[in-house]
Amino acid sequence: AKEGWTVVISGRRKDVLDEAVASIAKSGGKIEAIVLDVSSAADAEKVAKEIVAKHGRIDLLVNSAGVNVPKRSWDDITIEGWDKLVDINLSGVMYCMRAVLPAMRAQKDGVIINVASWAGRHVSKMTGPAYTTTKHAVLALTHSFNMDEFKNGLRACCLSPGEVATPILKLRPVPPSAEDMAKMLQPEDLGRTIAFVASMPAHACINEILISPTHNRSFVTPTML
């Protein structure tokens, strides 16, 4: 929004969306919110059509929805937990990409940024098999998109961050301390990275970015955190 974009945010919880809209609007940014469950292909298509109907185009899609579960090792993973992660972390990304594709193809222009994870490049017991698998798949999905859609002038980037200080960390078997979280990437760091990718000229495609905290805990504690 600070870069002059008209931003439409989405998510399942209207109260959280309303808080985000109020916060960003205070700084003068143009922002709207639409309730969306990314695990529903029909919802994703409906929201994309609403945006095009109101604004005429979709220039940028940022897929940042992602979850994990407390039971994340082979000892205690459940089918329900696996399905939840696949539905949101992988299928949700594909549904939203597919939903914006008609508009972007018609424009012959558009950028998609899929937020994956360090776990999408490096297998780790810390994140568990389900999360790690979905994030590896998002990386493959992003590259396959570029292989097919470059001819239409479209670009996708897989942004794979290490630990980011967000509420999802509270779901870990051993939540990180406040001191540890202060050393992690902050949401603002990813915001700056996303703005950088989105600002690149149409002839440049940043296929992927792997970013981590300088104090990367996976280097010192490669098992369960």
3-22 tens-digit pLDDT: 889 999 999 999 999 998 99
Parallel, antiparallel or unpaired: strands 110-115 and 154-161: parallel
Confidence of residue 29 (pLDDT cuts 50, 70, 90): confident
Residue type, 50: E
pLDDT at 23: 87
User: Which domains, from first to last, does the chain contain?
Assistant: 61-220 (3.40.50.720)
Taking residues 137-157, what's their average pLDDT? 99
Confidence of residue 173 (pLDDT cuts 50, 70, 90): confident
Residue type, 95: Y
**CA proximity to 202, closest of 139, 110, 134:** 110
CA torsion sign, 49 to 99 to 159 to 79?
positive
Parallel, antiparallel or unpaired: strands 60-63 and 30-35: unpaired
Q: Which residues are catalytic?
A: 131
Average pLDDT for the chain: 94
**Is 96 a residue whose pLDDT tops 80?**
yes
**Is 223 a residue whose pLDDT tops 60?**
no
- Please give the structure tokens belonging to residue 75: 């000892």
**Is 225 a residue whose pLDDT tops 50?**
no
**Is 224 a residue whose pLDDT tops 60?**
no
**Is 103 a residue whose pLDDT tops 50?**
yes
CA torsion sign, 74 to 75 to 79 to 85?
negative
Parallel, antiparallel or unpaired: strands 110-115 and 208-211: unpaired
Taking residues 137-144, what's their average pLDDT? 99
Distances (CA, A) of 8 to 58, 71, 76, 152: 10, 33, 38, 24
Strands (E), the chain: 6-11, 30-35, 60-63, 110-115, 154-161, 208-211
Angle at CA 158, nearest 5°, toward 80 and 32? 80
pLDDT digits (tens, 9 = 90+) for 45-69: 999 999 999 999 999 999 999 999 9
Taking residues 159-175, what's their average pLDDT? 88
The DSSP letter of residue 185 is: B
- Please give the structure tokens belonging to residue 44: 């994703």
